[in-house]
Amino acid sequence: MASMKDSDPSLGFLTRKETEVKLPRPTRVKNKTPAPIQITAEQILREARERQEAEIRPPKQKITDPTELADYRLRKRKEFEDLIRRVRWNTSVWIKYAQWEESQKDFARARSVWERALEVDYRNHTLWLKYAEVEMKNKFINHARNVWDRAVSLLPRVDQLWYKYIHMEEMLGNVAGARQVFERWMSWMPDQQGWLSYIKFELRYNEIERAREIFSRFVQCHPKVSAWIRFAKFEMKNGEIPRARNCYERAVEKLADDEEAEQLFVAFAEFEEKCKETERARCIYKFALDHIPKGRAEDLYRQFVAFEKQYGDKEGIEDAIVGKRRFQYEEEVRKNPLNYDSWFDYIRLEESVGKKERIREVYERAIANVPPAEEKRYWQRYIYLWINYALYEELDAEDMERTREVYRECLKLIPHKKFSFAKLWLMAAQFEIRQKNLKAARQILGNAIGMAPKDKIFKKYIEIELQLGNMNRCRTLYEKYLEWAPENCYAWIKYAELEKSLSETERARAIFELAIAQSALDRPELLWKAYIDFEISEGEYENTRKLYKRLLDRTKHYKVWVSYAKFEAFTAIEGEDSDTREENDEDSIQEQKKQCLELARGVFEDAIKYFRTYAPELKEERAMLLEEWLNIESSFGSIGDVSLVQNKLPKKLKKKRAIVSEDGPTLHEEYYDYIFPEETSAPNLKILEAAYKWKKQKLNHDED
């Protein structure tokens, strides 16, 4: 194709100055919002191509004589050869070169190009395919055979080459040649699809015996279940029932222990079922159930059930399945009698059958396997055998004496001095309550407290006596509970709440006093809170103040100070009787609020003084105290003085500190520091403030 300069020589006489065109100076886009209609680059190029006028399109070269044609071919070949020298390994260049030679009807040169390309990369099967397609398209059959023969000899593992070769011979009607190619291919033992293609080829020409012989070689090359099933179905389709049965029998002899043996047995049984041999099919299913492990026989069990539903009776199938599972469970518990999960499955199977004697026998055998070590972790699974046994006797068998005996024997067996199970004690007691034997239930719970006291047992026993209204027994149980666990704040609180519910205020207060006097407590904060709430509920505000002061003698936690201040600020006002509040005039109410606020301020001032003097490092707690104080002042409205607290609020600064690790670089973490107004006399504070302001200005400047 010639250029525009070649087609119009006058353009060559233009000077550079004459061809230059001054373009307008690009203006700066001011509106950067997206256009309402978005246009892609692909759309712009497509529209430009479509709207291009004919007179400005590049001209096409028209060849009118042999000289121009020879010149054109020489130029194209030179371009291809130059391109090949640069990118020798690019397969697409060789293909385009050869196809161009083919378009010029120069087949000798095209074959030369293909051969040169194969010398570069003969392992590329795409080259062989394109080469052979060119020969076939131009009806050079012998050349195509030569290409295919060389291709399958060099690349025998590329199935596509074999398929194309065979397809060509079959399209030419050369069945013998196609069969010969198949035989060459089968000598390389291809995958199953190759053998099946050979068999379909023979069946297309009604060569049944040849197909049968190929199937025999196929199952020898690929001795898999799917191959044998195909072979048997082939014989069945051709009406050769004895041959099909022989295939299944040979497959069972060789693959009975294979992972896919389940499919083989199912297919064999379905074959016998189609042949109306129900007894043979039943024997196959039973043989399979005896030889295939349980985990791989789900489909087999389902097929067997469907078969028996159609040809057998319900009892027969249930007995077959239960017998098989029973045999499996017996094997499992024989190998490992301490595998309690197997015992649970075995018991569940027997319970589904419903024979009491058999169920009890399995339960007795299971509970006889006592864990060898007296450690609770070994007994946690075993003890549920006893629990299930007792529940079975009570709910299913409805034998109460045997249930009571099961609980009694189990409680004797457990080494209570080392560990115990509160669940079992409680279940035994609840069983006696259901039998309306309250004396026996109390005896069981009493033995539990004496032999293996636990929180659950105390709580449940107290709950039972509380429901019965036996308050003296509840007091006795609480006393024993606290003797066993004097550090248990939950027990102290519940005991005091019991006395309060009985209007025994002094007894409740005495219990609280005994509780806070203990040297060790697990949750002392809950106990003190319960004691304070008790005094507030009784309206004893003076006692409450004393309690707060006693608590502050023990701990100076900022939450205690806040709670004390809120009590002084709000509790006395909220606790006042509404009738009394109506009788008082507005001035007296305001005066009372002022007094409460003054008391709260005193508490906050004492707290701030303590943190400033004795705990200066706890700056965050001190800042939170001031915020709580500020909230209280704000809540009092006009009575409160917010400025009193605002003058004491600290400045919050973000700082960094180094974290030194044993192995690794030094890291830095950010934290907040608080600078209080009374610390402004520090010499370095002004420098720090100036540095902070400078850093803030720098960050703002960078953002701008």
Distance CA 399, CA 253 (A): 53
First vs last Cα of the chain: how many Å apart? 59
Which H or E run contains 680?
none
pLDDT value at residue 635: 86
HEC string of 341-359 equals HHHHHHHHHHHHHCCHHHH
pLDDT in tens, 121-170: 889 888 999 999 989 998 899 999 999 999 999 999 999 999 999 999 99
Give the pLDDT of residue 20: 44
User: 530-537: which pairs have CB atoms within 8 A and are 24 or more residues apart?
Assistant: 530/493, 530/496, 530/497, 531/496, 532/563, 532/567, 534/496, 534/500, 534/508, 534/509, 536/567, 536/571, 536/575
pLDDT at 587: 72
* Domains of the chain, each with CATH number or no CATH: 223-312 (1.25.40.10), 370-477 (1.25.40)
Cα angle 431, 432, 433 (rounded to 5 degrees) comes to 90
What is the tens place of the pLDDT at every residue in 221-279? 998 988 898 999 999 888 888 998 999 889 888 887 787 888 888 888 888 888 888 88
CA–CA dist 226, 641 (Å, integer)? 92
* Helix orientation angle between 159-171 and 141-154, rounded to the nearest 10 degrees: 160
243 vs 232: CA distance, rounded Å: 8
Mean pLDDT of 644-659: 81
Q: Tell me what the mean pLDDT of segment 576-603 comes to.
A: 71
pLDDT on residue 685? 54
Cα 410 to chain center, whole Å? 41
* pLDDT computed for residue 55 by the predictor: 61
- pLDDT value of residue 673: 79
The percent of residues in the chain predicted with pLDDT above 90, rounded, is: 35
pLDDT: which is higher, 30 or 500:
500
- Measured between alpha carbons, how far is residue 639 from residues 66, 402, 562, 578, 590 in Å? 115, 76, 20, 21, 8
* Selection from 379, 363, 458 nearest residue 415 by Cα: 379
Distance CA 97, CA 80 (A): 6
pTM to 2 decimal places = 0.54
Separation between Cα atoms, residue 363 and residue 265, nearest integer Å: 36
On whether the CB atoms of residues 420 and 414 are closer than 8 A, the answer is: yes
From the list 601, 592, 685, 614, the residue with the least C-alpha distance to 645 is 601
Q: Are 512 and 480 in contact (CB under 8 A)?
A: no
Query: CA dist 462 to 444, 491, 511, 693, Å?
Result: 14, 11, 17, 66
